[in-house]
Each structure stands twice: as structure tokens, then as C-alpha cells.
A and B are shown apart, each in its own frame.
Chain A
Amino acid sequence: MELEKIKRNLSGILPLIGLLVVFALFSAVGGDQFYGARNLTLIINQCFTIMVVAIGVTMVHAHGGIDFSVGAVLALSEMLAAMAYKRTGSPFVLLFVAVLVAVLCSFITGIITVKLRIPPFISSLCMQFTCRGIVNTVLQSKSIGVTELHAPGWGVRLPVLLLLAAAVYVILDYTKIGKHNKAIGENIKAARSSGVDVDFYRIIAYLISGFTVGIAAYFDLLRNGVMSTNVGYGLEMKVIIAVVLGGLSLSGGYTATIKSAVVGSLLITIMTNGLMIVGVPVTYIGIIQGIIFLLVILFTYKRDRQGLLPR
């Protein structure tokens, strides 16, 4: 029992230890360049989008799903929101459209996955291609500028981040939505025969995930001030690596916690940033991330479960 307890606690704090180690390492190697106020602001800025999306996507991971579409959905949301803003001149319309588009896209992915019984990685890949395709078709190589709008500072963004994290924490641990999604991730048959409406609750998870993508799109657009085709590129992988680094099991279930999203997002951002400061070429960073991702999966994946990406 003691050993079991230690093991469980250790796996709980391991991502935190990893975060500290990575931070300490790059502080030592990168020195002032890493530690400087400018760089720290950069890290936090880079982290914001990943973390907001990771917080929502945790709901989908909880039931054993996976979403490869978040980056493209983010881009489509930003584009339509920017266009709507250009037409109306209202920042509220911008926010509303950003959230609405993302929620709708997620809803469609959810419906396709759940009702048509398509594995989530397939359905979300389809959504990715579709959204990315729409963005490329409409924008061609042009961009839409919304520079006249002020990007909200940390006085707004930090509370938003905390609020989202707190909300998903409560949903995950203290509501039927969270508990049912985790139960589905553990054993969908047992969940169904325990009276869980598995279709309904999985779709709710997609809606929550979509909502956070919409929020992320709003802030990302305002911070960049311009919408172009490369927005959100590769975001889905960063988010998935983040939650896995944070200790979440991709097969879903009760390991799904908000902590994974928060710690993991910081970890992946600091790692990317640190590597760049140390002088590793940007092209190498993708390779390094891929290898780290594989290693983490190897160490955390529960081998006695059926399949890494169930259903």
C-alpha cells in the first residue's frame, strides 16, 4: 500500500518537478536572456493560447477523445470574427463570432464522432482540413488587420485564465458533466450500463472545448492585430503534448485534471522558448518535441488498457 501511495503521489507531482527542472535549467544556461522581463512576458504570451485551449480540451481527453482540429478552428474563428468586425466595427461582435464559430465547429466534430461513430482522431482531422481549407481559400495570401483595437493587457487576461481554469476544475471534479466524461474514459460500457448518457455528455465536452478555443481566438487575434493563414498552425500538437506532459492519460479517465493542462502548457512553452534562447534552430525544436512526446507516452501510457486512442 505504501509503495502504491508513493507511486501515485509521485506521478502526481512529477510534471511539477519537471517544470521546476526545466525552468532551473534554462535559467542557468540562458541566464539573463531567459530570465529577463521581456522574455518572461514573451513566455506568458506564448503560453496563454496553449493553456486556454488545453484547459477546454481536457474535457475531451477525459472521455478518451482527442482533438486535432483546435489550431484550424482557431484560425477559422479568428478570420470570421475579424471579417465580422470589419463589417460592424463592434468588438463585441468580434468576441461573439469568435466564440460562436469555435463552438459550432466543435459541436460538428462532436456530432460526427459520437453519432456517426467515427474515431475522434479521424473526425477532428477532417475538421482540421476543412477549416484550414476555408481559411486558405478565403484569405489566399492576404491578411486582415484589426490593429485599431487594443489588445487586452494582463489585467484582463490573467483573470480570464484563472476563471476558465477554475470553471473547468469545478466541472471536471464536481459536476455530472465531468464525472460522467471521466467514467466514459475509464470504461464506456460500464458507464453506459450505469445510466450515463454517453452521447450527450461527450458532446457537452466538445462544446466546452469549443468555447475555450473561441476565447483563445479572441485574445490571439487582438494580440496579433492581424489575421493571416498561418494562425494557429501546429497548435493542436502543442496542446496535446502539453496535457500529456502534464500527466494526463490519453486513454481518458480519472487522471484527467486541470493541473495537467496548466502545468503542461507552461512546461512546453518554457521548453520551446528556452531551447530557442540557447540557440537551437527553430526547425530542430519540432524534432525534439516529437521525441519528448514519444518518451512521455511510453512512460505514462497504461499498457493494460486497450489501445492508446480508444474508439
Chain B
Amino acid sequence: MSEVLLSVKGICKRFGPTVALKDVDFTLRRGEVHGLIGENGSGKSTLTSIIAGIRKADSGEMQKDGAPYSPQSAVDAQSQGVSMIVQEMGTAPDITVAENIFLGKEKRFTRNGLVSKKELNAEARKVLDNIGAANIPESVPTFTLNLEERKLVELAKAMYEEPDVLIVDETTTALSHDGRELLYAAIEKMRSESKGVIFISHDLEELMSVCNIMTVLRDGDIIGTLTKEEFDEATIKAMMVGRELTGSYYRSDYDGKVEDEVVLRAVHLTGAELVEDVNFELHRGEILGFGGLANGGIHELGRLLFGIDPAIVGSVLLADGTEVKDASTAVKKRMGYVSKNRDEEAIMVHASIRNNIALPSLSKLTRRGLVAAGKERELAKQAISTLEVKCQSMEQLTRYLSGGNKQKVVFGKWICNESHILILDCPTRGVDVGVKQAMYRLMYDLKCAGCSIILISEELPELIGMSDRLLILKNGKINGEFIRSPELSERDVIHAMI
């Protein structure tokens, strides 16, 4: 076994009433790409944020290269050789890419009290090229980049530090195939230089291929550590949830049968960006998948269909002839939308579960101008129990829920409003296996009850596993249609994507 690079002993951390980490021991050796996996709320992000100096542990100690290590801040951790790419956005939108990369380190480029933009940009160019991100411009404001490009900027920033320990938290969900390759290359470089990487992901397959050792967490406890030879999907999943997952992950039927009745029709739909002349029909009881690269227009299409963004040309028509022009029309016509950016666009984090769930249904709950408080509570209670939201009460603020449970609250909103057309944009993003399986089952149950679902996703297995029909968008146009079949493979679909 190689030399210990970083060790963590007896770390405990509480957030108010919630115990996030219970007496955790963790060791990272040189040359390890150490995967951390566990359901939402299992403590992965908490552990890594403590190691990266973003949070402080309540108790316990850490050592790096045998010496005591207790970072006072993220910057302090960086100067001691620990860098992290965080799950949430870590770049400032209004400054340039180069400025972001060297944020807080402008001193290096300062001549007579002024920062030399030229040097800064030139150095940034080198740093970006080093990780292989040659297509990202260094002198543009960061907000002009898409999510994937911003993630790569963060990677460049972290690699520039030449850290001994690189922590990658849930980053690959934001990356396309090419972006992932760049990240994997950076990880491989770290490994070959006998440094250490801690890699967090919900994607088990990815972890199994990228990591050479894996630690499973559950409810703030370390359940076990497996070496590469011991990797086995079923074992790891069982360790994560503490029980055997029964039945198949996705739906198991393959008839792909839908009713003839058309519930929604997109006619020459064209948006301000990306989406161009999209035409399709959504049938009753159909799960219609939309796949493509991150910048292929699938997310923008979802927003157009729900009326959040206006169509420039064309329209979205419902069965009764209504044109969906804005989101309030969509909700009135019993449509529902699950946003890709949950905390920013789908829930009110400082509001209670009850207030979140009831929001779209307030019209339904109003009698003679007044909202029936009892009925509102009943509604919330029903949603919490059907979806098995783990919470203390319906009055709990949603910010205290784990990602998966927040997502259940979002689903609860639409189920309570009896939505019969659901537009789901990456509904299982950042959600753990247990919740994921529950979501898939729910989608299938809704389909069987006659609901129509538009499933937008960047994960091919999910699209192939769940859709009755799959449409692929490329550069905003439909570039392929696939009907549900057991023979449909990722390779066939990828062909239409790139």
C-alpha cells in the first residue's frame, strides 16, 4: 500500500438538529482516485467540504502528509494543497474567465499597483489549454459561458493550484461526453503523479470506471471501503440503501403502446435560442423522451413547452386548442414542470413544505375567495405520505431537506394539482439511487393513469429505459426518433446526437 496522503479521524458534524457525520474515519493514499458514494444526505458533500476547509467539523482531527491539518478556509486549504470543484456554482458571473481563474491571486500580475490584463489573460490561456479546454475563451465575461464551460473553468482553476488533493463533487452531471473526458484526463494526471483525488458522483457506473477505491456512506456513517477488485454494482447499491433493491431500475415492459389521443402539439416551435422548428405530438399516456447534448436545445425546449420562455415562431397547442403562451396558462390547463435547477427555479427554499406543495393548487383550494387552510394541510399531508418525503413535519422549511426529498416536494406540487401533462427536465439529477427508483416508478404509475410525460435528460440509460418514444435534438432540431424496444442501444442513439 502506498503512503497516506490525507487522513481524517473521528469527524463529527451537526447541522442544527441533523447529524451529518458521525465519528467518520477516512484515509486517502497517494495514487488513489477515491470514490465517495451514498444517498443524498449521507454526508459525502459535508465530509469533502470539511476537508476542503469550506466547513468546520464539530470535533475530530485531520492530518496531511503526517502533519496536523486544520484549514481555516477554502483559500487556506488551497495553499496547503487541497482544491475542490464544488457541486454548486463556484464562479462569479460578471468577471472574465481569466479573472475567475486567478481570483484572489491577482498579486502575481500586479505591476505598480495595477493588474496587467495582458499577462493575466495569457496565463489563463495557458491554464485552460493545459486541461484541454482550448475552445473556452479567456477574456469574455463568465456568464456568457454555459454550465459545462463554467465547470471546466473551475477545473482549470483547481488544477492551476497543482494540488496534492483534488476533490470533485458531483461535477459530471453538468458535463457532456467531451467535458467528462477532460475531467478524467485531469484525474488520470493526478493519479499518475501519485497525488490523490476524491471523487463524488451519483453515477455508479462512472465511479466504478474512474476510481480505484470506493467508500460508501450512509446516514453520516462509513459503511465500507471497497478496492477495485471488489467493485460490484449490486453490492454497492445494497450498501448505500442498507437493503437489497428489488425489481428492475427502469420499467420492464416493452410494448411502448400509447393511446391515439394527442394531448399536446408543438408546431414549428422556435425559441430565441437553440430550439428551431420543432414539430411533434405528445399522446395520452406516453412518456416522450428528449435527449441530446447539453447545448443541443433540450432544456430550452422544456421551457418553451411550458411557456416560461416565449416562442419566437410557432406554438404549443393543447388538445382543446389552447395555446400555451405563459406558465400560468400551462398550470391552469393542468400541466406541470420540473426544472433542472431545482433550488433556483422550482422550490422556495425558505418556505415550508406545505407552502411549496400547495402553491400551484391554490386556485383549486379557494372557496369564495378564501383558501381553505384545512384542505391545504390535507393536500400537503397526502403528498408527503404518497411520495414518502422524509421530513419532520409539513411546516419544516424545504432548505433542511436533502436533494432527493426536495425533488419529491417538487413532484408533489404537480401531483397535488392533478397535472396530466408533466415536463420533467433532468428529474433525477443529483438524486440518489433510492429516490431515483421511486421517481421512475412514479413516472410509470402516472403514465398508466393516463398522464403524458415529456422526459428531458442528458442520461441515455434513463431515456432508453423509460421512454415510449425518444426524440433526439441536435443544434436545436430534431435529429432522430427511436421507438421503445429492448434492442435499442446507447450506440444507436449517440449516433443521432453527435
- Chain A interface (Cβ < 8 Å from any Cβ of B): 1-4, 170, 174-176, 179-180, 182-183, 186-187, 189-197, 253-254, 302, 305
- Asked if B360 is at the interface of the complex by the 8 Å CB criterion, the answer is yes
Contacts of A305 in B (CB 8 A): 350
Contacts of A3 in B (CB 8 A): 16-17
- Asked if B2 is at the interface of the complex by the 8 Å CB criterion, the answer is no
- Asked if B146 is at the interface of the complex by the 8 Å CB criterion, the answer is no
Stretch at the interface among B48-56, B153-161, B338-346: B338-346
Contact indicator A1/B392 (Cβ below 8 Å): yes
Given contacts A190-B344, A254-B355, A305-B350, 7 further A-B contacts (CB under 8 A): A174-B370, A176-B363, A176-B371, A180-B362, A186-B350, A195-B328, A253-B348
- Chain A residue nearest to B331 (CB atoms) is A195
Contact indicator A193/B339 (Cβ below 8 Å): yes
**Smallest CB separation, B359 vs chain A (Å):** 4
- Asked if B413 is at the interface of the complex by the 8 Å CB criterion, the answer is yes
Contact indicator B350/A183 (Cβ below 8 Å): no
- Asked if B194 is at the interface of the complex by the 8 Å CB criterion, the answer is no
- Asked if B351 is at the interface of the complex by the 8 Å CB criterion, the answer is yes
**Smallest CB separation, A1 vs chain B (Å):** 4
- Chain B residue nearest to A192 (CB atoms) is B327
Contacts of A302 in B (CB 8 A): 350
Q: In the bound complex, how far is the Cα of B376 from the Cα of A174, in angstroms?
A: 10
**Smallest CB separation, A18 vs chain B (Å):** 23
- Asked if B279 is at the interface of the complex by the 8 Å CB criterion, the answer is no
Contacts of A4 in B (CB 8 A): 16-17
Q: Which of B387-426 contact A (CB under 8 A)?
A: 392, 413
**Smallest CB separation, A4 vs chain B (Å):** 5
Q: In the bound complex, how far is the Cα of B147 from the Cα of A93, in angstroms?
A: 60
Select the residue from B358, B362, B370 with max chain A CB neighbours within 10 A.
Answer: B362
Contact indicator A193/B371 (Cβ below 8 Å): no
- Asked if B242 is at the interface of the complex by the 8 Å CB criterion, the answer is no
Contact indicator B327/A190 (Cβ below 8 Å): no
Contact indicator B308/A192 (Cβ below 8 Å): yes
Identify the 7 closest CB pairs spanning chains A and B, nearest first: A195-B331, A186-B348, A1-B17, A189-B345, A194-B359, A197-B328, A187-B348
- Chain A residue nearest to B338 (CB atoms) is A193
From the candidates A176, A187, A197, name the one contacting B366 in the complex (CB within 8 A): A176
Contact indicator A191/B359 (Cβ below 8 Å): yes
**Smallest CB separation, B79 vs chain A (Å):** 26
Contact indicator A194/B370 (Cβ below 8 Å): no
**Smallest CB separation, B341 vs chain A (Å):** 8
Q: In the bound complex, how far is the Cα of B413 from the Cα of A207, in angstroms?
A: 29
**Smallest CB separation, A251 vs chain B (Å):** 9
- Asked if B317 is at the interface of the complex by the 8 Å CB criterion, the answer is no
Contact indicator B366/A175 (Cβ below 8 Å): yes
Q: In the bound complex, how far is the Cα of B359 from the Cα of A194, in angstroms?
A: 7
Q: Given contacts A175-B366, A183-B355, are A193 and B16 in contact (CB under 8 A)?
A: no
Contact with A along B2-39 (1 / 0, CB 8 A): 00000000000000110000000000000000000000
Q: Given contacts A1-B16, A192-B308, A193-B345, are A179 and B371 in contact (CB under 8 A)?
A: yes
24 A-B pairs with CB atoms under 8 Å apart are A1-B17, A2-B17, A3-B16, A170-B370, A174-B371, A175-B369, A176-B366, A179-B355, A179-B362, A180-B362, A183-B351, A183-B355, A183-B359, A187-B344, A187-B349, A190-B348, A193-B337, A193-B346, A194-B359, A195-B328, A196-B359, A253-B350, A254-B348, A254-B355
Q: In the bound complex, how far is the Cα of B362 from the Cα of A243, in angstroms?
A: 27
Q: Which of B299-355 contact A (CB under 8 A)?
A: 306, 308, 326-328, 330-332, 337, 339, 344-352, 355
Q: In the bound complex, how far is the Cα of B392 from the Cα of A3, in angstroms?
A: 14
Contacts of A254 in B (CB 8 A): 348, 350-352, 355
Contacts of B366 in A (CB 8 A): 175-176
Contacts of B308 in A (CB 8 A): 192-193
Q: In the bound complex, how far is the Cα of B345 from the Cα of A194, in angstroms?
A: 9
Contact indicator A195/B332 (Cβ below 8 Å): yes
Select the residue from A176, A187, A190, A302 with max chain B CB neighbours within 10 A.
Answer: A190
From the candidates B17, B332, B348, B370, name the one contacting A183 in the complex (CB within 8 A): B348
- Chain B residue nearest to A189 (CB atoms) is B345
- Chain B residue nearest to A305 (CB atoms) is B350
- Asked if B373 is at the interface of the complex by the 8 Å CB criterion, the answer is yes
- Chain B residue nearest to A200 (CB atoms) is B328
Q: In the bound complex, how far is the Cα of B330 from the Cα of A189, in angstroms?
A: 15
Q: In the bound complex, how far is the Cα of B339 from the Cα of A1, in angstroms?
A: 29
Q: In the bound complex, how far is the Cα of B337 from the Cα of A3, in angstroms?
A: 35
**Smallest CB separation, B441 vs chain A (Å):** 24
**Smallest CB separation, A255 vs chain B (Å):** 9
- Chain A residue nearest to B355 (CB atoms) is A254
Contacts of A191 in B (CB 8 A): 348, 359
Q: In the bound complex, how far is the Cα of B332 from the Cα of A183, in angstroms?
A: 17
Contact indicator B359/A179 (Cβ below 8 Å): yes
- Chain B residue nearest to A251 (CB atoms) is B350
Contacts of B369 in A (CB 8 A): 175
Contacts of B392 in A (CB 8 A): 1
Contacts of B348 in A (CB 8 A): 183, 186-187, 190-191, 253-254
Contact indicator A175/B350 (Cβ below 8 Å): no
Q: In the bound complex, how far is the Cα of B350 from the Cα of A183, in angstroms?
A: 10
From the candidates B16, B17, B330, name the one contacting A195 in the complex (CB within 8 A): B330
- Chain A residue nearest to B349 (CB atoms) is A187
Contacts of A179 in B (CB 8 A): 355, 358-359, 362, 371
Q: In the bound complex, how far is the Cα of B308 from the Cα of A197, in angstroms?
A: 11
Contact indicator B347/A195 (Cβ below 8 Å): no
Contact indicator B327/A195 (Cβ below 8 Å): yes
Q: In the bound complex, how far is the Cα of B347 from the Cα of A196, in angstroms?
A: 13
Q: In the bound complex, how far is the Cα of B360 from the Cα of A179, in angstroms?
A: 11
Contact indicator B360/A195 (Cβ below 8 Å): yes
Contacts of A174 in B (CB 8 A): 370-371, 373
- Chain B residue nearest to A302 (CB atoms) is B350
Contact indicator B330/A190 (Cβ below 8 Å): no
Contact indicator B345/A190 (Cβ below 8 Å): yes
- Chain B residue nearest to A185 (CB atoms) is B348
Contact indicator B337/A189 (Cβ below 8 Å): no
Q: In the bound complex, how far is the Cα of B91 from the Cα of A296, in angstroms?
A: 31
Q: In the bound complex, how far is the Cα of B339 from the Cα of A191, in angstroms?
A: 12
**Smallest CB separation, A176 vs chain B (Å):** 5
Q: In the bound complex, how far is the Cα of B339 from the Cα of A57, in angstroms?
A: 32
Q: In the bound complex, how far is the Cα of B371 from the Cα of A102, in angstroms?
A: 29
Contact indicator B346/A176 (Cβ below 8 Å): no
